[in-house]
Amino acid sequence: MDELNGGRIILPAGRKLASGSDPKPKRARLTLRALQKWSQQESQYIKGPVPRSKSSTNKAPGTSDAAYIDTLYGHGIKERILRKRSSPQLDDSAVFAVKDTAEKLANAEGTTNMILRTPMFPLEYGGLVEGGNTQWNTVAMPNIPRCYNKLSAPKPDAYLASPRGSESPWTVEQNNVVNHPRVRPYSQPVKRNTFPSLSLELKAESAGGVLTTAEAQAASSGSHSVNSMLWLLEEAKAAGLTEVDLVQDTEKKFYMSYLRSYSTFEADGIRGCNNTVKNIVDNANGPRDIKIGQALFALEPINDS
C-alpha cells in the first residue's frame, strides 16, 4: 500500500492519551477472539451498518462489529510492517505546543480533533487539501463476490487529497479524464477533491471509541484509495501505457500497514508523527502523482466504456 497510496496512520486521540515510556511498544496481531471480547465490552456503542450504494445486495456490518475483521480479510485486506521514514525535526517550541494541547485533552478540555491542529499533524504541508466527515462512494471498494458481507462506505474523520481548480496538479487534458463519469467514482470519492492519499481516524474513550474500530475504518478508506489507483493503472495499461507496475494475482491483496505508536506527551513521538505525515505527503506529491499523471495522459481522450 505504501508504494501506491503513501501508507496510513491510525492514531487514537482519546481523552486518555498515550503516555507510556516505551518508544517502541510491541503489538500483538489482532485476533477474532480479541475483537469479540472488545466488542462485547463496548457493545453499548456499536452502531448499525453504514449506508452503501444501492447496487449492493449483501449487508455491510458496522465497523465496530467484531465480525467486520472477517469482512476485511474476506476482501483481501491484511496487515504488515512498513519501512521507517525520516524528515526534518520539529523544534522544542512546536513540541511544547503539542504537549500543551495533549494536557488539555487529558483534562477533558476541548474536542479530540484539536490534536490535528498541532504541529504533530502538519496537514497543511505540501499543498494538499483537507477533507473529512463526508461519506465516500462504495463503487471503488474491493469486492470479492464469495464474501457475503460487503465493505462499509468509508467516512474518515480527516483526509488529505489533491486540490481542484487552479491549484490542481493536473492539466486540462488530465482533468478531462478525472472528471469523466466512468472515472469519477475512482478519482473523486467526494466532489471536493481528487485521489485521497492519507486518512485519519480519531477515537475518544469518553465517547466509546476503541482502536479496533479506528483500524477497521482506516482499512476501509485505505483500501478504497488503493483500489482506485489499481483501477486507474489497469485502465491505463489497457489503453497502451507500458510502464505500469501491477502485481498479477488471482485476487487483489490489500495490506494495512502498522507504523508505530506516537505518544502526544513525548518529543520523539511528536517528531516521529510529524515526520511520517510529511513523508506520506511527499510521496503523494512525488511518485504517486507521477503514476496518476501518466495514467491520466494515457486515457486521454477517455472512452465512455
**125-152, pLDDT tens digit by residue?**
999 999 999 999 999 998 888 888 888 8
What gap in Å lies between CA 291 and CA 245, rounded to an integer?
A: 9
pLDDT given at position 207: 59
> Cα 260 from chain centroid?
15
How much is the mean pLDDT over the chain? 76
**For the ranges 162-176, 189-203, 240-254, which has the lowest average pLDDT?**
240-254
Sign of the torsion formed by the C-alpha atoms of 187, 188, 193 and 195: negative
What gap in Å lies between CA 204 and CA 216, rounded to an integer?
A: 16
Q: Show the cell assigned to 110.
A: 476541548
* Full-model pTM: 0.73
Sequence-ordered list of residues with C-beta below 8 angstroms from that of 173, at least 6 positions apart, any chain: 296, 297, 300
Looking at residue 58, the DSSP 8-state letter turns out to be: S
Given a contact cutoff of 8 angstroms between Cβ atoms, the answer to whether 81 and 258 are in contact is yes
Given a contact cutoff of 8 angstroms between Cβ atoms, the answer to whether 70 and 61 are in contact is no
Given a contact cutoff of 8 angstroms between Cβ atoms, the answer to whether 1 and 7 are in contact is yes
Kind of pairing between the strands at 194-200 and 254-258:
unpaired
**Encoded amino acid at 267, one letter:** A
Q: Show the cell assigned to 20.
A: 507510556
Kind of pairing between the strands at 194-200 and 158-162:
antiparallel
Confidence class for position 43, pLDDT limits 50, 70, 90: very low
**78-128, pLDDT tens digit by residue?**
543 344 555 668 999 999 999 999 988 888 788 889 999 999 999 999 999
**149-195, pLDDT tens digit by residue?**
888 899 999 999 999 988 999 999 999 999 999 999 999 999 889 99
